[in-house]
Amino acid sequence: MCPLSAILVLVWARWSRTPWREIGYVRPKSWTRDLAVGIAFGIAFKFLMKAIVMPLLGSEPINQAFHYLAGNRAALPGAVYTMIVRAGFGEETVFRGYLFERFGKLFGSSVWAKTLIVLLTSGLFGLAHFSTQGLAGVEQGTIVGLVYGTILAVTGRIGMLMFAHAAFDLTALAMIYWNLESDVAHLIFR
C-alpha cells in the first residue's frame, strides 16, 4: 500500500465532500498524548505479538521476507520511511479510514454493522500482507486489523492508530536490524 493510495483517499474525501471526521481524521484533544499513547501502544503490541501471539500460532521466529534488513545500514532510511509513511499514514488511511467509511455507508452504524466492518477490513488487511509475508503475515495483519479496527470503531479517531502502526512496524524493524527476532520470539515460549 503506497502513500499515493492514502493521498487519493484524501483527494476523494475532498471531492466527494466527505467530512474528514468520517474517515477518522479528527483533531485530537492533545497531539502529544496521541503521539505518546500511540508509540507506547505500538511498541507494547509488537512485543506481545512477537513474544506470545505469533509463537502460539506456530510462526517462524524470523520474518524471512524482511531478514535482509538485519544489520543493513544502507536499507534503514528507506525502511524507516516505509514504516512511517506507507504503514502509519498509508495503510491506516486506506484500511481503517476509507474502508470503514465506505462499509459504514453500506452497512450502517449499528454495533453489528461495526462488528462486520471490523471483521471485513481486518481480513482484507491481513490478505494484503500475504504477497510479502505469507501466512504468518496474514495472521499477524488480521490480528492487528482486529485490534486497530476495534479501536477506530469505538473512538472514531485514526490519529493515535497512525502513530501506533508506525511504532509497531519500527519496533519490528529494530528487532530485525539488531537480529533480536528469535530472542523476542522465544522470550516466553522456549
- pLDDT tens per residue across span 144-165: 999 999 999 999 999 999 999 9
DSSP letters spanning 9-77: HHHHHHHTT--GGGGT----S-HHHHHHHHHHHHHHHHHHIIIIIHHHTT--SS-GGGGGGTT-GGGHH
Evaluate whether 109 touches 133 at the Cβ level (below 8 Å).
no
pLDDT for 190: 77
Q: What angle do CA 158, 164, 165 make, to 5 degrees?
A: 85
Residues composing the chain: 190
pTM of the model: 0.95
pLDDT for 1: 59
Q: How confident is the model at residue 2 (pLDDT cuts 50, 70, 90)?
A: confident
How confident is the model over 11-52, as pLDDT tens digits?
A: 999 999 999 999 999 999 999 999 999 999 999 999 999 999
**Considering the chain, what percentage of its residues have pLDDT values greater than 90?**
97
Residue 100 clears pLDDT 80, i.e. is over it: yes
**Considering the chain, what percentage of its residues have pLDDT values greater than 70?**
99
Hey, what's the cell of 43? Answer: 511498541
